Structure 1
Amino acid sequence: MHPRRSAQEVLLCDLCETVPLQSHCELCNINLCVNCVGKHLSDSSKDHNIVPFIKHIKSTPNNPKCPKHANKHCEMFCEKCDVPVCSTCVTSGKHKGHDISDVLEKLSAKTESLQKDLEELESRIYPRYEEMASGVQTEKSELETNYGKLTTAADQQGEALHREVTAIVNQRKSDIQEMKNKHMAALDKNTDEITQRITELRKIIEDLKKILNTKDVSLTSTYKSRNGEFRQLPPEVRVTLPSLSPQKINTEKLREMFSSLSPLSINTEQGDTMKSAEAVSSPPVKPLLDEPRVTATIDTGYRPLYSVSCLSEDQVWTLGENKTMKLLNLQSKLLTSIQTKSGIPPRDIAVTRDGDLVYTDDSNNTVNLIKNKQIQTVITLQGWRPGYVCCTADNDLLVTMDSDDWKQSKVVRYSGSTEKQSIQFDDQGRPLYSSGGYYKHLSENKNLDICVADCNARAVVVVNQSGKLRFRYTGHPSNTKQSFNPRGITTDSQSHILTADINNNRIHILDQDGQFLRYIHCDKYYPCGLCVDIRDNLFVAEFDTAKVKKIQYL
């Protein structure tokens, strides 16, 4: 072990290496004991500035000691090797030719990075973990209550079945008693008939005995025999006793009569990835204009027009009632047109982050990507029909779809051709989206919420990134003419949600929590498809006029 080091890390004088240090020469960068200070100051060839060592360590960064050169401190930093180095290390062969920086500058940069990490951990990440832990505890505390409700419901169902069984048993007993009474009445009647005959027979027997004993000729000559009458015995009552034939209890049918219990589903979903502090920094606030204004009108030539998707500030893809998708500029000039593979009009279109066009085709249940005018089928569905599509911030695709029998609907997230997420039910197992509805436009908000304009349900359904329901917006109370009928939907840099109310010819603007902010009125041209460009200009596809209007509303 080096004589200046021990298990307790006692710091010794750099000169004598035997006595604990007490002072430091800031100009020579050497540690000194009280005995060596005078010796050091005797060297008049250099300037010296002796300070107490404790003052020195408070004002000087703690440069690490070099692990390879025991008497050296690392005053430099090798950028390639990402390690602190001393002057001897730099001149050695290992770090030769490497970029070397000042260790204090590196320390400053690292310290700033550490400070940012600490701030993010304390202010954002740790509170989220505490929030999640609190949520789990709340769910655990509610567990007894919720399962108690299930047990109570089972007891109530059992009591109802008991009442029905008791009623059936009582009815059977009543039927048995009625049969018994009828049986007894028949026997009583038969007894009365036999008893009457017995009485008559006793009288006849007594009279015959008297006649025989008196030997009276008159009585003997007048006697009329009734034996023939009594040889015909009274009718016998024969009753077949009823029997009770108990049926074998069908346990399965009995279970079917009882309320069903859905299976316990415990899913461990991938946790949300928190964005860094830089990524969630608020965008510049853009207040809503009191009077939105139309800045351009594009005539698409369709009849009618269904959808619009922005490629840039002055170029939009459009979709109408034919197999051709058109790219137009603000002057209505046709730049490009693409026909679907199937020759059938697509269901919806969207532009990816790379500027490629995506379209859904429910005639052959495919999602297709157009790159360099070449159509690639990226998704083929079985048992489901693709509906509307949007591209996310991560360049994933979100697709609404309906089952072939139109009884189920869901939103599915794809990365390329790979399914990453399926969103169909809420926490209670109820469908999030209406079944059988044709129109379900969707958009991802800046906070990563997924917003669906469910026309059939007459609601905007918003779930978070994990697919948990946040809220439903069913229109504003001022909707007095016709009911809320959302079609197109889009979001902007302010996390506003904009949805086209086609029945009432206006666009609803909501905040990210579903609070109504205001309308954009659209005359009487039935707004259908919506999209927003990178500068928050709104493009509205008008169903009837087949025009796209560019609107400034912020």
Structure 2
Amino acid sequence: MENQEIVLVYKHKILSIRGAYKTKQQQHRGTIHTIRSDALFYRPVLLPGITDDIKTCRTEFSRYQSEMLTKAQKQRDLIDYVLYDLLNNVFCDFNFKHRCLKQKMETKKHIVSLQRYVHMYEQSTFSALQFLSSIKTVISQIHLTLHTSQLSMTESLNKEDVMESLSAIQITERGNRRVGNQCLLKLTSGAELHQSLTLTGVGRCYHISCVTSDRVWVSDLNNLMLTDTTGVPLHRVKDLCSYLYGGLHTVNSESELIYIDRKYNTKKRSKDMKTTTTFIEITDSTWEPQCVYWSLSTGDLLVGMYNNDAKTGKVTRYNQSGQLTQTIQNDNTGRGLYSVPCYITENNNGDVVVSDCINFMTGAVVVTERGGRHRFSYTGPPSGSRLDPRGICTDALSHILVCDDRTHTVQMLDKDGQFLSHLLIRPSGIFSPYSLSYDVNTHRLWVGSGDNNTVVIYRYITRQDALTDTADKLHTSQLSMTESLNKEDVMESLSAIQITERGNRRVGNQCLLKLTSGAELHQSLTVTGVDRCYHISCVTSDRVWVSDWNNNLMLTDTTGVPLHRVEDSCRGYGGLHTVNSESELIYIDRYYYIKKLSKDMKTTTTFIERTDSTWEPQCVYWSPSTGDLLVGMYNDRTRTGKVTRYNQSGQLTQIIQHDNTGLGLYRKPIYITENNNGDVVVSDYRAGVVVTERGGRYRFSYTGPRSGSGLRPHGICTDPLSHILVCDGRTNTVQMLDKDGQFLSHLLIRPCGIFSPHSLNYDVNTHRLWVGSEENNKVCVYSYIDTQDALTDKDTHSSGVEAMFSSSDGDAMFNSTLAVEWR
């Protein structure tokens, strides 16, 4: 019966019950959705407020009832007195008396009505629904009654006197009850990826303007495209202002595009894309618009302007007719607020929020009240630190979000400019977040890349769980133990126990080695044949390969004398070469082939040929543990990178490119190495240190000592204690991390002779660190790891054994030989 369609035949008319039901359901789908998503959701939030109002109403209406009865009696006495005086002491004809009597009757009716309304209020307070229903209809009637009563009396009692007497009762127009976002919304534990898309028609994503939940305008330096969530271009604006990377466009409530054209006029394009009109024509050529934002609350257009002659900026406000209504330029001391307003938005409290770019490396977020008074300027998380602000927006909770091009982060502030968190740090696929747009309807954040044409959509705000039933929570959290166990379940449960090959019992390095109190300089040398030291590969304890930018790849000894030169090496500053266990040099040549030079320097063979011209190898590392070759690759067309693994025969065995969400891990790998636990460690251009497990699963990214503080990584290596060492070109330091990416210390800070450390190589045989300079041809050799003094005397030996087996530090030696490893 369920799958059969019910048909009724009546007077030769056939009615499909199912069809009629579907039709009605379609007609009321919007109403049903509103009830489920809004009405039922708001009920538990609104109900406490209504309950409190009812309690307040009982008290207030009791007071008003007493006052109204008192005033009503006074009005009645006055009316009786006036009528008596008019009828008995003043000459008047019948019509006048009749008119007075008629008005007396009307006035008494009004008084009775007032008393009836008071009674209704008293009765309705016992039912919230009855109260809301009655007050909605009655208030307007009272309002009309009070203000349209026609009382034509003598001077002793006129309309103004009556209204003044009743003015104690004030009825205000409140509209529909509204709930603040702080009651309905909350932050999630972190930004959750919703979707990523690659756009066609733009090279980068310098600005985003949401039209609907699935359509946005995106621009780069020359193109302004309308696209959907598939990345397909739907429309292109041809006269966008070129060579400006700021917030050049916005969308109003009518879904019309407002943008700055190439003549610096502000234009408006209709929703159907058929009509383009000039909204604001530039009248002063010294001021050029840089960014626009349409205000959701006022309907005004905010425009950030720049004066190239005076090297200063300002914000102007235009109403919906395009008339200038406000200029914000100086603070209360007369000093200019802005340098170059690149992006502009408005917060829920009316604040005007500007991303102001002072130069290409620093700037500020400048916030003023709606009236123009300066509130604060934000220059970075720690007070006084630098900020390179780009795209900016606000969300439903009045947070301010800004992209920092210096640290490649999206920073979250409260409405008063206090730093709250790094919402995004070098997000996968984007690498350098540059543009932002918050969709108030779906509470999703659109983030555009400054490096490529990728846009990623995140969600970090969700609704309060006001309607979640406790029973449902308990139900979903319960473990279903009634299902029978089968072979697959047992095997899956036991899969956490991984059997590893034991081999010979080995003692962990942490038992034999220790950090010294600091890095000690062992030797420095000046390398002949190179002008800088962009990469170092150790061959023996006294021979290393050193390369610079200009195709120079030299073998040298500890005196700096060149012993051999490779003629066909690739030009670049990355990790272009490595040495295997046979002391053979593996390097990238000028044609991006990977070659192998024999130990005796007599034979050169091609180890890996280049088969795909879109991918160029940038760095190589030979793995001592597996004998594999790790290669960092870069695609200039897509501006993305990947890591490939080749076995000892030169066969491709693995590609590491994406995280578990499908987003790209690498921007441009320039140095690569491997840690003792098998982790693949990559120094990625302008991004950070990216670490994956041997199998390719993403582990972490390191972007500086403090979360989101910024890093310009260069040379990288690991040591026998599994520390990760990386050169930071921003601070001219060598930073030491543990294997899990936690910052430990600055091992070297602008070391003498080197000044800007750029390349690293750790010699596992001598436990010495080779450090090359970015500024000159100096190489310094340091030692910071020493052997434990385990065999110096009997006491030391015994204490060393005790330390080796102590429970505090680990069971390091014991764990290194366990046959069963738990993960």
In structure 2, distance between residues paired with 1:58 and 1:385: 63
2:219 alignment partner AA: L
> Which of residues 273, 281, 284 in structure 2 aligns to 1:380?
281
Match of 1:550 in 2: 457
Q: Which stretches in structure 1 are left out of the alignment for 5+ residues?
A: 1-55, 90-109, 121-275
What is the correspondence of 1:46-445 to structure 2 with a 5 Å cutoff? 68-71=102-105, 73=108, 74=110, 75-76=112-113, 82-83=144-145, 114=170, 281=180, 283-301=182-200, 302-323=202-223, 325-340=224-239, 348-361=248-261, 363-371=262-270, 372-373=272-273, 374-381=275-282, 382=284, 383-392=286-295, 393-405=297-309, 407-415=311-319, 416-434=321-339, 437=340, 440-445=342-347
Shift in CA distance, 111/70, structure 1 to aligned 2, threshold 3 Å? closer
Q: Secondary structure at the match of 2:193?
A: strand
Report the CA distance shift for 1:537/1:83 in structure 2 as closer, same or farther (over 3 A).
same
The letter for the 1-side match of 2:453 is A
1:171-224 Cα offsets, whole Å, 9 max, x none, are xxxxxxxxxxxxxxxxxxxxxxxxxxxxxxxxxxxxxxxxxxxxxxxxxxxxxx
| 1:454 maps onto 2:356 in alignment | yes
The question of 1:525 aligning with 2:427 is answered no
Q: Residue 536 of structure 1 corresponds to which residue in structure 2?
A: 443
Structure 2 CA distance for partners of 1:83 and 1:395, relative to 1, 3 Å: same
Cα 1:289–1:404 shift into 2, 3 Å:
same
Show the 5 A alignment for 1:468-479. Answer: 468-477=373-382
Distance apart, 1:417 and its partner CA? 1.8
Q: Is the 8 A contact 2:314 2:327 kept in 1?
A: yes
Q: Residue type of the partner of 1:305?
A: C
**2:391 is equivalent to residue 484 of structure 1:** no
Matched, 1:495 2:401: no
Describe the SS at the equivalent of 2:212: coil
Distance 1:278 1:453, change over 3 A: farther
**What is the rounded CA distance, in whole Å, between the counterparts of 2:432 and 2:344 in structure 1?**
18
SS at match of 2:315: strand
Unaligned runs of 5+ in 2: 1-64, 80-99, 115-139, 151-165, 462-823
Assess, with a 3 A threshold, how the Cα gap between structure 1 residues 446 and 279 changes in structure 2: closer, same or farther.
Answer: farther
TM-superposed deviation, 1:336: 2.9
Map of 1:18 onto structure 2: none
The whole-number CA distance in structure 2 between the counterparts of 1:479 and 1:294 is: 32
Residues of 2 paired with 1:473 and 1:86: CA distance? 55
2:416 is aligned, of 489, 496, 513, to: 513
Letter in 1 for 2:227: L
Distance 1:475 1:112, change over 3 A: farther
**What amino acid maps onto 2:221 in structure 1?**
E
- More strand as a share of residues: 2
Query: CA offsets, 1:209-267, max 9 Å, x none?
Result: xxxxxxxxxxxxxxxxxxxxxxxxxxxxxxxxxxxxxxxxxxxxxxxxxxxxxxxxxxx
CA displacement at 1:337 relative to structure 2? 2.8
In the TM superposition, what is the alpha-carbon distance from 1:503 to its structure 2 partner?
2.0
Q: CA deviation at 1:359?
A: 0.6
Going from structure 1 to structure 2, the CA distance change for 1:57 and 1:352 (only over 3 Å counts) comes to closer
- SS of structure 2 residue aligned to 1:402: strand
Check the 8 A contact 1:346/1:359 in 2, yes or no.
no
Amino acid at match of 2:382: P
**3-state secondary structure, aligned to 1:494:** coil
Could you say if the C-alpha distance between residues 501 and 277 of structure 1 is closer, same or farther in structure 2, counting changes exceeding 3 Å?
A: farther
Pairs aligned (count):
315
SS of corresponding position for 1:310: strand
Q: Offset of 1:548 from its aligned partner?
A: 1.4
CA contact (8 A) 2:331 2:374 kept: yes
> What CA distance in whole angstroms lies between the structure 2 residues aligned with 1:408 and 1:379?
21
8 Å CA contact 1:305–1:543 kept in 2: the answer is yes
Q: Do 2:376 and 2:416's aligned partners in 1 also have CA atoms closer than 8 Å? A: yes
Q: In structure 2, give the amino acid aligned to 1:349.
A: H
CA deviation vs aligned residue, 1:65-118 (integer Å, no higher than 9, x gap): 68743256023599599336999x9xxxxxxxxxxxxxxxxxxxx99982668x
- Superposition deviation, residue 287 in structure 1: 2.8
CA distance in 2, matches of 1:504, 1:322: 26
Equivalence map 1:2-13=2 (5 Å): none
**Structure 2 residue aligned with 1:246:** none
Q: Deviations over 1:442-497 (max 9, x none)?
A: 110000000111122521110001111101111012998xx421100000111100
Moved more, 522-531 or 395-404: 522-531
Q: Which residue identity does 2:305 align to in structure 1?
A: M
Q: Would the alpha carbon gap of residues 277 and 404 (structure 1) be closer, same or farther in structure 2, given more than 3 Å must change?
A: farther
- Which amino acid is the alignment partner of residue 444 of structure 2? N
Alpha-carbon distance in structure 2 between the residues aligned to 1:287 and 1:553: 9
Structure 1: distance between partners of 2:331 and 2:176: 30
Contact 1:359–1:389 (8 Å) recurs in 2: yes
Kindly indicate whether the alpha-carbon contact (under 8 Å) linking 1:340 and 1:346 is maintained by their aligned counterparts in 2. Answer: no
Letter in 2 for 1:513: D
Q: Secondary structure at the match of 1:305?
A: coil
Contact 1:538 1:552 in 2 (8 A): yes
Alpha-carbon distance between aligned partners in 1 of 2:327 and 2:383, rounded to the nearest angstrom: 35
- The letter of the residue matching 1:541 is G
Distance 2:113 2:406 in 1: 71
Give the C-alpha shift of residue 397 in structure 1: 0.5
Q: Is the alpha carbon distance of 1:500 and 1:341 closer, same or farther for their aligned partners in structure 2, counting shifts above 3 Å?
A: closer
Quick one: which amino acid aligns to residue 460 of structure 2?
A: Y
Residue 378 of structure 2 aligns to which amino acid in structure 1? Y
Contact kept? 2:204, 2:454, Cα under 8 Å: no
Distance in 1 (CA, whole Å) between partners of 2:235 and 2:169 is 48
Letter in 1 for 2:411: H
Partner of 2:170: helix, strand, or coil? Answer: helix
Separation (CA, whole Å) in 1 of partners of 2:356 and 2:192: 28
The residue matched to 2:407 in structure 1 has which SS? Answer: coil
Within 1, Cα distance between the matches of 2:147 and 2:203?
Answer: 73
**Amino acid in structure 2 at the alignment position of 1:444:** E
Q: Distance in 2 between matches of 1:522 and 1:538?
A: 16
Q: Distance in 1 between matches of 2:302 and 2:230?
A: 31
Larger radius of gyration: 1
> Conserved in 2, the CA contact under 8 Å of 1:285 and 1:494?
no
Contact 1:76 1:84 in 2 (8 A): no
C-alpha distance after superposition, 1:408-433 (max 9, x if no partner) = 21000011321110000000000001
For 2:332, what is the secondary structure of its paired residue? coil
Equivalent position amino acid for 2:446 in 1: F
* Residues in 1 aligned to 2:68 and 2:144: alpha-carbon distance in whole angstroms: 25
Confirm or deny: 8 A CA contact 1:496 1:510 kept in the other structure. Answer: yes
Residues of 1 paired with 2:278 and 2:244: CA distance? 16
TM-score normalized by the length of structure 1 = 0.51
Q: Give the CA deviation at 1:332.
A: 1.7
Preserved CA contact (<8 Å) 1:378 1:417: yes
